Amino acid sequence: MQKRSQVTITIDILEATSKPQNKMRIMYQANLNYVRFHRYLADFLSKGFIEAIKDADGKGFYRITQQGKALLEVLRKANELGYSI
Amino acid sequence: MQKRSQVTITIDILEATSKPQNKMRIMYQANLNYVRFHRYLADFLSKGFIEAIKDADGKGFYRITQQGKALLEVLRKANELGYSI
């Protein structure tokens, strides 16, 4: 299997949060190990690409923000153009 | 000085090739050491973001391609959105 680029990993995480999801589902969907996933998650939360929300029962979820959606669109274009770092 | 992201380095290299430039000028303008610069240059040539050209005297230059220009625009947007990897 070819190593995924950081751009592709970012796309995978952002796509996994298009609906509110819990941490584990995002982690599995983005196919990352625990440590790497949490590093990305903390980074994306701090930059405002993803937001933490709670449902009526107080359960925590994560969801892509408007800024994250804009970034997702831009990174898909970069990917199409062959950019992979 | 804050560490430049790979996105920012890519932008700096692509901007440095907006006019045909020789290697050393691009390297200095992008502020990279010899090894790192050549790694990026080989990568961007192989992906078609930059092309090698020769003038009438046979001197070698490098110049951004249409694909590289499209990528530059996309990465500037990613940068504005706060993406830094």
Q: What is the identity of the amino acid at B57?
A: D
**Nearest chain B residue to A9, by CA:** B85
Instruction: Assess whether pLDDT exceeds 60 at residue A1.
Output: no
- ipTM for the assembly: 0.87
- In terms of C-beta density within 10 A (0-12 exposed, 13-18 middle, 19 or more buried), how is residue A79 classed? middle
For residue B1, the model assigns a pLDDT of 53
For residue A2, the model assigns a pLDDT of 65
CB contact under 8 A, A71 and B48: no
Give the distance from CA A73 to its chain's centroid. Answer: 13
Q: How many residues does chain A have?
A: 85
CB contact under 8 A, B78 and A74: yes
Q: What is the identity of the amino acid at A2?
A: Q
Residue B77 with chain A: CB contacts under 8 Å:
70, 74
Residue A70 with chain B: CB contacts under 8 Å:
77, 81
CA torsion sign for B70, A50, A25, A19 is negative
Residue B75 with chain A: CB contacts under 8 Å:
78, 83
Distances (CA, A) of B22 to B14, B18, B38, B63: 13, 12, 13, 9
CB contact under 8 A, A82 and B67: yes
pLDDT in tens, B22-55: 999 999 999 999 999 999 999 999 999 999 999 8
CB contact under 8 A, B75 and A83: yes
Calculate the CA dihedral of residues A36, A22, A74, A39 and round it to 10 degrees.
-20
pTM of structure: 0.89
Decide: helix, strand or coil at residue A22. Answer: coil
Q: What is the identity of the amino acid at A68?
A: G
The two three-digit tokens of residue B23, written as one number: 């290697």
In whole angstroms, what is the distance from residue A23 CA to residue A58 CA? 14
CB contact under 8 A, A71 and B81: yes
Query: What share of chain A in percent tops pLDDT 70?
Result: 98
